[in-house]
Structure 1
Amino acid sequence: MTADRLALTGARLVLPGGVVEGDRLAVEGDRIAGLGGSATPGDLDLSGYTVVPGFVDLHVHGGGGASYSSGIAEEALQVARTHLEHGTTTTVASTVTGEIDDLARQASVLSELVEDGVLAGIHFEGPFISHNRCGAHRPDLLRDPDPALVRKLVDAARGHARMVTLAPELPGGLDSVRMLADLGVIAAVGHTDSDYAKTLEAIEAGATVATHLFNAMPGIAHRAPGPIVALLEDERVTVELINDGVHLHPSVLDLAYGTAGAARVALITDAMGAAGMGDGLYPLGPLQVEVKDGVARLVEGGAIAGSTLTLDVAFKRAVTVNGLGLNQVVESLSAVPARLLGLADRIGGLEPGKLADLAVVDSATYDLVAVMRHGEWITGGDRFAPIATA
C-alpha cells in the first residue's frame, strides 16, 4: 500500500444509508475510493472505533486564542487549525459587528484563505441586527440592513460570502433578504426582535437559515409565537443549534429535533477565541470576554458571548446526552451544512468520490481520537496499527 493509498478496516462506518459494523473504507489520494471488501495486509485496524464524515461548521468566530475578526491571516489560520484538530474539516469564518470598512478589510483577508482552500466561505454576523437582541455585539456599531451596505460587504468577500445574518424587521431587512437570495448568499434570520408574521415574510423573501435558534430572539409565547415557531415550522428553513449545554437546555434541543428533524438542523459552535483554550480574558471583535468554567460572557454586562464549544464535543453530547442516533447527528454535523454550502458533491458523507474528510471516535465513549482531511491524517493516525494478515 503506497503512501497515497490506505484502507481503514474493522470500523463502524456511519454511511448515508445507515450504520455498518466492521466495514472497510479505502482512500486514494484525497478521495474516498471505495467501501466494503475484504481486509488486506497493511490495512489499518480500526476495530473499536467509529468513522464519521468530517464536521462542517457554518458559524464559528474563533479558537486557539485567535479570531477571524482580527483581520490577520495568521490568526485566521490558527482558528481553522484549532477546529480542524477537533474534527471540523470544513469551516466558514464568521465575523462580528464592526465598522463597515473594517469588516470589508477582514473579508478581503479571509477571502484569500478561501481561495487557498483553508476556509469554505465567510459569514457576516452583524452589524445588521437588532439593538434589543444584540448579545455580544457593540450596540453603537449596529446598522440597519440597507441593501447598499449589505451589498458592500458581500462584494468585499469577492464571491466568497456564504451567509449574512440580519434582523428582517429593521428598515431594509426584507429588501436585503431578497437581494441576498438573488445573489446566491444565504440570508439568515438572527439577533432579531421580529414577530411571527414578519419572520414569515422574511422566509417568503428568501431567508433559509435561523442563526442559533432560540438565542438572541424572542421566546415562544402562547399568543405570540414569535420567530422561533415560524422558523421551526417552515420546511425551507435550516435551524442552527449550539449544543454546549449552556446556550440550550437539552430538552430544547430535543424539541427542535422533534419539530424540524435532523435534515433541517445544523449543529454549530458559534465559538470565540477561547475554544480549545482555558479560562481567561479574550477579545471578541471590539469587546472583551471573560471565560470562566468554560462559559464565555462579556466583561461589561455579562451577556453570553459565543461559546468555547468544538464540534467533537457537540457530537458527543448529541449522542450521550440527547440520545440521538448516529445518523441523525452526522446529518446535522456534516450533510446538512454541506448541502447549505453547495458542497454536497464533495463533502458531508462517507461516499466514494467525495473528499476523504473523516473523524474517528471511540465507539464506547464517543471521544474524538483522530482526524483526516483530504486523505491526510491531521491528528491521531499513528494510533492505528496495520494488520499483518487478511
Structure 2
Amino acid sequence: MNLPECARVVSGAGVVSGTVRVTGDRITEIVESSREPEGWILPGFVDIHCHGGDGASYTVGDPDQARKAAAFHLRHGTTSTLASLVSSPFDVMMTATKAFAPLVEEGVLAGIHFEGPYLAVSRCGAQNPDALRDPDITELDQLVEAGAGAIKMVTIAPERRKAIEAIEWLSVHNIVAAIGHTDADYETTVRGINAGATAATHLFNGMRPFNHRDPGPIPALLDDPRVVCELIPDPVHLHMGTLAFALHASCAPWAALVTDAMSATGMPDGEYELGGLSVTVADGAARLTGDGSIAGSTITMDDAFRNTVELAGVDVETAACMASTTPAELIGLTDVGSIAPGLRADLLVYSENLELQGVMRAGKWIER
C-alpha cells in the first residue's frame, strides 16, 4: 500500500491538502498539493486505557497475551497503547510489571497503567473489591523500580487514606496520577488536582454523579485545564449527548478518547473474565455477570474516533487530537501523536467516509 498522493493531512499545524513523505521509520516532509484531496491521513492513535482484545487480556500479566492484544489493536489503528491492569494483590502487580517491562523496552507497549487498587469500594465497578486498599508509597516505589520507566499512569481515588501523598509522590516521579473510581466530593477532588493529578479515568463512569448542590468530582475535573479527561465514546458508557456536552465544556487538549477495551473486543458475545470476575457480553456490551456493572468496552480506537465524529458531531481534526496528540502528550510520548517532520511515521489512512484503509507504524504497513 502507498500513502495517497493528495489527502487531508491532519498535522500539528492544522489540516493540509497533500501527502506525507517517509524515510525509514520517520516522517521527513509534509508535501502540499493543489489537487482535490481524497480521504484523510491521521496520526496513529494512542490508547492510554486498554485491558485487552482479540480474546487476550493484559490483566493476567502474560507477555504472549499482551502481544496478541497489542497486535489486534494495532490493526485497528492504535499504534501506541498502555497495558491497563485492574485491582490486584501486590504480588500480581509486581509479576505483571516485570513481565511487561521488556515489552515496553521493545516497543510492543507504550507503558503500564494501574487502574487500581487504590479505589473507592463504593465506586469500584468491575474491579474486585477484595483487592482494594489504601495507597502505599513503599509498594509504589518497588513497582516503579521494577518497571524501570514502564509505569506511566496510576488511577487513585483521592479520598482514600494517604491518597494525596501518593498523588504527590507520583507527580514527583513523572507518573500520571489519574483520579477515578471515586466517591470524592468537589473539595477533595480539587485537593487531588492541586497535589499533582493530571488525568481523570473515564470521566462520568465510576465516580459520584453530578448534583448542583453537591457537585462531586466531575465539574472539578472537567473544568480544570491541568487535567486531561478520558472519555469512552460508546453508547454503553456515555450517551453521545453527554460526550458532546463534555467536549463543548472542555476542549481537545483537555480530553482523551480511550477504549477501556477488554479481552472480548473483536470477539463474539459470550462469557469472559476480567481481573478474576465473570463478565457477560451481550450485543457488544460487557457487564459483570453478577450485578450488571459495566465491565470495560468492546470498541477499538477506530470505533472511538468514528463515533466521536459521526455520533457526537466533532470535526475530524479535533477528534484526531483527542485520539492521538493529547494522550501522547499526557503520558510523555514525544515522538508520536502528531504528523510532523522528525516524528515516528505512525500514520492512518482513512477514506472520505471515515473507513480505515491502512495502518503504518514506524514506517511499515501493518497487515490488516
Fold similarity call, TM over 0.5: yes
Aligned match of 1:174 in 164, 171, 176?
164
1:209 counterpart = 2:204: no
Mind listing any 5+ residue stretches in structure 2 that lack a counterpart?
A: none
- Displacement of 1:46 after TM fit? 11
Structure 1: how far apart are the matches of 2:33 and 2:190? Answer: 53
1:79 counterpart = 2:69: yes
Structure-1 residue corresponding to 2:276? 286
1:303 counterpart = 2:293: yes
Structure-2 residue corresponding to 1:376? 364
- For 2:190, give the aligned amino acid: L
Aligned match of 1:30 in 25, 29, 43?
25
Structure-1 residue corresponding to 2:248? 258
Q: Is the 8 A contact 1:98 1:286 kept in 2?
A: no
Q: In structure 2, the residue corresponding to 1:379 is in which secondary structure?
A: coil
Identity %: 47
- Displacement of 1:233 after TM fit? 1.1
Aligned residues: 368
Q: Is the 8 A contact 2:279 2:288 kept in 1?
A: yes
- For 1:18, give the aligned amino acid: G
Structure 1: how far apart are the matches of 2:100 and 2:111? Answer: 8
- Displacement of 1:182 after TM fit? 0.8
Q: Is the 8 A contact 1:135 1:304 kept in 2?
A: yes
- Displacement of 1:38 after TM fit? 6.6
Q: Is the 8 A contact 1:105 1:156 kept in 2?
A: no
Structure 2: how far apart are the matches of 1:148 and 1:90? Answer: 29
Structure 2: how far apart are the matches of 1:150 and 1:46? Answer: 54
Q: Is the 8 A contact 1:215 1:247 kept in 2?
A: yes
- For 2:363, give the aligned amino acid: G
1:355 counterpart = 2:351: no
Q: In structure 1, the residue corresponding to 2:326 is in which secondary structure?
A: helix
Q: Deviations over 1:342-364 (max 9, x none)?
A: 123x1111111111101111112
With normalisation by structure 2, the TM-score equals 0.96
Q: Is the 8 A contact 1:16 1:327 kept in 2?
A: no
- For 2:142, give the aligned amino acid: K
Structure 1 segments of 4+ aligned residues over 6 angstroms from their partners: none
Structure 2: how far apart are the matches of 1:54 and 1:241? Answer: 18
The structure whose Rg is larger is 1
- Displacement of 1:47 after TM fit? 6.2
With normalisation by structure 1, the TM-score equals 0.91
Structure 2: how far apart are the matches of 1:353 and 1:174? Answer: 39
Structure-2 residue corresponding to 1:322? 312
Structure-2 residue corresponding to 1:231? 221
Structure 1: how far apart are the matches of 2:235 and 2:16? Answer: 30
- The CA RMSD over aligned residues, in Å, is 1.7
- Displacement of 1:379 after TM fit? 3.3
The answer to which of 153-162 and 110-119 deviates more is 153-162
Q: In structure 2, the residue corresponding to 1:181 is in which secondary structure?
A: helix
